[in-house]
Amino acid sequence: MINYYNSTFKSSSSFIILISACSVLFGCGSTPVKSPTNSDITFLHSNTLNIDTLTPERITVAGNKSWQSSGVFLENGENITVTANGSWSPAPILLQWSGGEGNAFFGAEIPYIKGGALMAKLGHDGIPFGIGINTTFQSNDYGMLYFAMNDPFDWQYDNQGELNVSIYTMNKSSSNSKKVHKPTEIIAYDYNDRTGVGSLSAKVTSDHFQTRNWMIKKIGEIASSKRVALQAGKASLQGGNYAVLDEQSQNGILTIHFETLW
């Protein structure tokens, strides 16, 4: 004779134990909270960019690493569409997988973004925002674009899978029929809003002087945008005040450290 009461009780107990273990080990079942105001980017309608006419930068984002640089430097005012495909899991032992959209059952490093979702930030100190599998936005600052799986970073060592991410970019002032090509490749960019000190690194072309001039012009644009943001649009747009602190050239990479002046 089957004891249905004991069978149900054991089944319920097993489920509770499984959920409890999952919560402890993987941070499953996170509850999203209200997203903070993110002045770094502005979300746009998905039809803003015609990605069929653009050639994307393609990268792979691993599920078992925290913030990963895309190698893509965004300009202030640039429009971007990011698409992602593939699958990953923060809890492969539980056979729980998703794409870039994530799963509410997963834990989260950033509580206002769905657990397991693809997320991004603009610059080292940028505010994270959700990407999912397809998001279009405008960058409101200069910076390198970073990606990561939204999973507690201390527990990512056993994650599995990766996403293939495509990054389509276009300056808002350009024609929608062609992609804007940057004259040189920016390798790294960093800026501290509190101290006003930053650095810009780029690959040196065959003409070192031309590369340096382009970088100095870009630093001027960055300094100008910081001033405009600081003074709420009251400053002149004719160029930013800055000082070059030092320059270093190594292995074909030129790095210029600078300080914005008010």
Q: What amino acid occupies position 162?
A: E
Look at the block and give the residue holding tokens 């300056």: 171
Given 1.20.140, 3.10.20, 3.30.1660, 3.30.110, which CATH number is that of 186-260?
3.30.1660
Task: Say whether 186-260 and 41-171 share the same fold.
Answer: no
The highest-level CATH class for domain 41-171 is: mainly beta
Percent of the chain's residues with pLDDT above 90 = 61
Distance between CA 19 and CA 117 in Å, rounded? 20
The predicted pLDDT at position 250 comes to 93
Any idea which of 6-20, 172-186, 234-248 has the lowest mean pLDDT? 6-20
Average pLDDT of the residues in 81-91: 97
Look at the block and give the residue holding tokens 């004259």: 183
Q: Is 10 exposed, middle or buried (0-12, 13-18, 19+ CB in 10 A)?
A: exposed
Domain ranges of the chain: 41-171, 186-260
Q: How far apart are the first and last CA of the chain?
A: 85
228 — pLDDT class (breaks 50, 70, 90): low
